[in-house]
Chain A
Amino acid sequence: MSARLTRDNVAKVADLARLNLTDAELERYTEQLGAVLDHAEDVASLDLDGVPPTAHPLPLVNVLREDVVVEGVDRDEVLSQAPSVEDRRFRVPAILGEEP
């Protein structure tokens, strides 16, 4: 995994992350993220066969509660904080390439 991060990698990742980068930013991030990943080579090069992963510090189990109605967050209060609302719902621009 010593292949250096490329500008194309970063452009693809920015697209996946929904970020628009300028050429100068692409250049800078390629350099900076490459340096961090180079540092991470100490981990990437370890032989860890047979070691189980730890995704979480606690031995978690699903937590269930009684199926009783409790008061939730106030709908109008939530909607009052949204950038755009229509008919008590969040409003967004076209999703499938059509005008709304």
Chain B
Amino acid sequence: MTTLPSTALEIAAAVRSGQLSALEVLNDHLARIDARDGEINAFNLVMADQARAAATAVDARVAAGEDPGALAGVPLALKDNLCTRGIPTTCSSRILEGWRPPYDATVVQLVNAAGAVSIGKTNLDEFAMGSSTENSAFGPTRNPRDTGRVPGGSSGGSAAAVAAGFAPISLGSDTGGSIRQPAALCGVVGVKPTYGMVSRYGLIAFASSLDQIGPFSTTVADSALLLEAIAGHDGRDSTSIDAPVPSLLESLGRGVDGLRVGLVTELMGEGIAPDVAARVRQAADALAAGGAQIGEVSVPAVAYGLSAYYLIAPAEASSNLARYDGVRYGMRVDAPTTAEMNAATRTAGFGEEVKRRIMLGTYALSAGYYDAYYGKALKVRTLIVRDFERAYADFDLLLTPTSPTTAFKFGDKTADPLSMYLNDICTIPTNLAGHPAMSVPFGGGSDGMPVGVQLLAPALGEPTMFRAAAVLEAAAPALDEVWS
């Protein structure tokens, strides 16, 4: 089964030209899932029948002389908070177990229209709240590189699916790092696009001003390919940016000569594991070797990012998750009155972390505390935006670790929510600013687990970000390269 091409670009080219059948590609990936997903638990649902039908349709179009599209015959895994019509969509929560959405998310329509073969729905921290996928109601996903460790989260299933070779590409969502952190911990590429670049229609909302859908892949080029396929204006998302989609694949070969890249000082010291920081410096050296000018830059407000995020995101979540009331969809626990039914349903349907965040957000928004917490957090968000603006006056891109550490072991952080939240310090500021950022694998830590380095760009700076990502990919040390 190793004779088949492994990247989405290669698979799509071979399928479009008739050299390879989409069904053959699919069966190969289904066999890998059969062999190993019992151990990894990347999928909440493997859509084998639907996928076979989709792959057969792609093959029929090729046989008829048609072009199925840029993702022709490429197996693709979908985070289970993306609505798929008639196919269970759970958010890894009991409260939505068995629910079959009456519509497809816009990104699902787009990847299907581009010829991709949706292969399954991937596990996540319940409602995307978490950094380890340990908060799933259906059991944790395991890191394919070491099954004693977490894959990161919340899109842990989508990251693990790509890392394990179950699908060459997948989609996740990123509210405070939920694509980039698991990408780093699993050793794959993960991208959070500019807020508004990808339609959120059909993405089940966690924190609406922060959520953004993005790709996972094993190569930088495959993320460029998938992001081009899902980006663009959508009349069904009022926050969708009405601008042409930038060409990303074209930008990949352009190098970094003359680009100014800043190392963010606040994210290189305390709280960052020394082996991770060393890889980031090594990545900076690789960019310098490509002709980039490397400097250090202070973005002071990122120090307040975590606090602001853990007030804003739960506040938005407490409002968004009010809809799970046992009336319109999902589970209901019967009780004599509607108010009692609402509470009984939510109590039985939500897991511990979701309840914690709903309460935190409800408190932050409640009378007497609004100004002190939520109101202050929104002002800090302004400071973060301003500090990034200052940094981008002098630099084209910023470079940081993606996660302060490599993948941690199961149970290490579950007893102390704050220690779990601290895992997001490097990724959160970009969500608050609405900017794009991506994680690129760059060798291993002292424990041999993957390290991700994070590239940050100003809004709509994806083409420049991908140029640098391609250079880092080419220069990345092997995962097993021994530490000196």
- Chain A 68-100 residues near chain B, CB threshold 8 A: 73-74, 77-78, 80-84, 90, 92-95, 97
Is B478 part of the contact surface with A, judged by Cβ < 8 Å?
A: no
Chain B residues numbered 219-235 whose CB sits less than 8 Å from any CB in chain A: 235
Interface of A is mostly: loop
Number of A-B contacts (CB under 8 A): 171
- In whole angstroms, what is the CA distance A31 to B14 when docked? 57
Q: Is B366 an interface residue, CB under 8 A from the partner?
A: yes
A19 to B478, CA, bound (A): 49
Residues of A within 8 A of B355 (CB): 17, 19, 29
Taking a contact as CB atoms under 8 Å apart, the answer to whether A58 and B196 are in contact is yes
Number of interface residues of B (CB under 8 A): 71
**Assuming the A-B contacts A10-B359, A42-B304, A57-B209, are A19 and B343 also in contact, with contact meaning beta carbons closer than 8 angstroms in the complex?**
yes
Partner pick for B376 among A5, A43, A57, A73, CB 8 A cutoff: A43
Asked whether B342 lies within 8 Å of A18 as measured between CB atoms, the reply is yes
Contact between A35 and B366 (Cβ–Cβ < 8 Å)? no
Is there an interface contact between A16 and B346, defined as CB atoms closer than 8 Å? no
Given contacts A19-B347, A35-B417, A36-B418, contact A55 B359 (CB under 8 A): no
CB-CB under 8 A from A40, the residues of chain B are: 307, 310-311, 373, 377
For residue B383, which residues in chain A have a CB less than 8 angstroms away from its CB?
A: 48, 51
Contacts A46-B304, A65-B235, A78-B102 given; does A54 touch B381 at CB 8 Å: yes
B393 at the interface (CB under 8 A from A): no
Interface residues of B in 295-339 (CB under 8 A from A): 303-304, 306-308, 310-311, 318, 325-332, 334-339
B239, B359, B385, B421: the one within 8 Å of A17 (CB): B359
Beta-carbon contact of A54 and B307 below 8 Å:
no
Contact between A92 and B327 (Cβ–Cβ < 8 Å)? yes
Please report which residues of chain A, range 1-36, place their CB below 8 angstroms from some CB of chain B when the two chains form the complex.
1, 5, 9-10, 13-14, 16-21, 29, 32-33, 35-36
Interface residues of B in 409-440 (CB under 8 A from A): 416-418, 421, 432-435
Q: Is the interface of B mostly helix, strand, loop or mixed?
A: helix
The residue in chain A whose Cβ has the minimal distance to the Cβ of B208 is: A56
Q: From B321, which residue of chain A is reached at the shortest CB distance? A: A17
Cα separation A55 to B239 with both chains bound (whole Å): 13
Please state if B380 and A43 are interface contacts (CB–CB under 8 Å): yes
Q: Do residues A77 and B102 form an inter-chain contact, with CB atoms below 8 A? A: yes
B196 surroundings in chain A (CB, below 8 A) = 57-58
B50 at the interface (CB under 8 A from A): no
The 5 A-B residue pairs with the shortest CB-CB distance in the complex, in nearest-first order? A57-B434, A53-B378, A83-B332, A48-B379, A54-B381
Q: A46-B379, A78-B102 are in contact. List 19 more A-B contacts (CB 8 A).
A: A16-B366, A19-B350, A20-B343, A32-B418, A33-B359, A36-B418, A43-B307, A44-B373, A48-B379, A48-B383, A51-B379, A51-B382, A53-B378, A53-B379, A53-B381, A60-B239, A81-B329, A93-B338, A97-B337
Interface residues of B (CB under 8 A from A): 99-103, 195-196, 209, 235, 238-239, 241, 303-304, 306-308, 310-311, 318, 325-332, 334-344, 346-347, 350, 355-356, 358-360, 362-363, 366, 372-373, 375-383, 385, 416-418, 421, 432-435, 459
A residues contacting B by CB (< 8 A) are: 1, 5, 9-10, 13-14, 16-21, 29, 32-33, 35-37, 39-40, 42-44, 46, 48, 51-58, 60, 62-63, 65, 73-74, 77-78, 80-84, 90, 92-95, 97
